[in-house]
Amino acid sequence: MTRIILASKSASRRALLDGAGVPFEAVGSGVDEDIIKGQEKAKGASPAAIALALARAKALAVQADAEDLVIGGDQVLDFKNTLYDKPKSMGEAAERLTAMAGQTHYLRGALCLAQGGDVIWSHEETSALTMRAASREEVEAYLNSVGDRVLRTVGAYELEGPGVRLFEKIEGDYFSILGLPLLPLLDALRTRGVLLW
């Protein structure tokens, strides 16, 4: 029997698969993202290519039986042609949100399916998010209301929660913004006969 393995401990990715009724196991990939990002940046890779390299590495890093399908996914934040990692402190989160206020940034996401040690399917998606012009005081009020859980997100906001109040326009797939392009993934799983409907 084919198992579906999510190569991630991400709470949002797990919640999306759970919500869709997909049976899966979650396993941390153990991939050192900083090393891969450094290698890809040294090659001059675009933010989208870096997200794809990370997704591929995660899908291939998990030990699985030959018939199992391993989902690897990643997302990077591209703001003014600079790649951002998750903020390391609330102060850094406040600086980032204040800098992005009133402007557009891009979430470059990628998803891969691996089977038998090979990537057999991949998908890339870009979302454009325009934040409203918010003051530093508004940003700090937001951060005080949600706490340090925003440090688990690359944008320092949770679009599925109060963070949505920071935005004026969003172009892109909601599920992809949360870190998992769910509809293309479900189609790929149905195509491979892992999901019946």
Strands, DSSP E only, in 132-187? 167-171
Of 74, 85, 118, 187, the catalytic one is: 74
Would residue 74 show up in a list of annotated catalytic residues for this protein? yes
Determine contact, residues 55/64, Cβ cutoff 8 Å: no
Determine contact, residues 150/156, Cβ cutoff 8 Å: yes
Each of the 197 residues of the chain gets a pLDDT tens digit; together they read 899 999 999 889 999 999 999 999 999 999 999 999 999 999 999 999 999 999 999 999 998 999 999 999 999 999 998 999 899 999 999 999 999 999 999 999 999 999 999 999 999 999 999 999 999 999 999 999 999 999 999 999 999 999 999 999 999 999 999 999 999 999 999 999 999 99
- If one looks up domain 4-191 in CATH, what number appears? 3.90.950.10
Q: Tell me the domain boundaries of the chain.
A: 4-191
Q: Which position has the token pair 């691996």?
A: 114
Distance CA 121, CA 123 (A): 7
